[in-house]
Structure 1
Amino acid sequence: MRIEIACFNPESASIADQSGADRIELCDGYAVGGTTPATDIVREVRHKTKTVLFVMIRPRGGDFCYSDAEFAQMKADILTVKPFVDGFVFGVLHPDATIDTERNKILIDLAQPLPATFHRAFDQVSEPLSALEEIIACGFSTVLTSGTKSNVIEGAPVLKTLVEKAANRITVMPGGGLRSTNLAALHETVGAHFYHSSAITDGSQMADADEIKALKNIG
Structure 2
Amino acid sequence: MRRLLEVCVEDVAGIDAAVTGGADRIELCAALAVGGLTPPESLIAAAATAPIPVHLLARPRDGNFVYTAAEAALVAADIRAAAEAGLAGVVIGASRTDRQLDAEMLAAWVSVARNAGRSLSLTLHRAFDLCPDPLAALEAAISLGFDRILTSGCTPKAIDGRDTIAALVQAAGDRITILAGSGVDASTLPAILETGVREVHASCRSPQASADTREIAFGFQAGPRLATDPAKVSTLRNLLDARS
| TM-score calculated relative to the size of structure 1 | 0.96
Alignment of 1:95-174 (within 5 A): 95-112=97-114, 113-174=119-180
Task: Measure, in 2, the Cα distance between the counterparts of 1:159 and 1:204.
Answer: 31
Runs of 4+ aligned residues of structure 1 deviating over 4 Å after TM superposition are: none
Q: Which of 233, 236, 243 does residue 212 from structure 1 map onto?
A: 233
Letter paired with 1:78: I
Task: Measure, in 2, the Cα distance between the counterparts of 1:40 and 1:78.
Answer: 15
Contact 1:14 1:45 in 2 (8 A): no
Task: Measure, in 1, the Cα distance between the counterparts of 2:172 and 2:237.
Answer: 24
Q: Which runs of 5+ in 2 are unaligned?
A: 208-223
Letter paired with 1:198: S
Task: Measure, in 1, the Cα distance between the counterparts of 2:161 and 2:98.
Answer: 21
Q: Deviations over 1:113-154 (max 9, x none)?
A: 211100011111110000110011011101000000010111
Letter paired with 1:210: A
Q: Does 1:94 align with 2:96?
A: yes
Q: Deviations over 1:22-69 (max 9, x none)?
A: 00000012221111001111001212x111100000100100010111
Q: Does 1:179 align with 2:180?
A: no
RMSD, matched Cα? 1.1
Partner of 2:204: 199
Task: Measure, in 1, the Cα distance between the counterparts of 2:170 and 2:228.
Answer: 31
Partner of 1:29: 31
Partner of 1:39: 41
TM-fit CA distance, 1:210: 0.8
Letter paired with 2:33: A
Task: Count how many residue pairs are aligned between Structure 1 and Structure 2.
Answer: 217
Q: Which runs of 5+ in 1 are unaligned?
A: none
Q: Name the SS for the 2:7 alignment partner.
A: strand
Letter paired with 2:79: I
Task: Measure, in 1, the Cα distance between the counterparts of 2:225 and 2:43.
Answer: 19
Letter paired with 1:10: V
Q: Does 1:72 align with 2:73?
A: yes
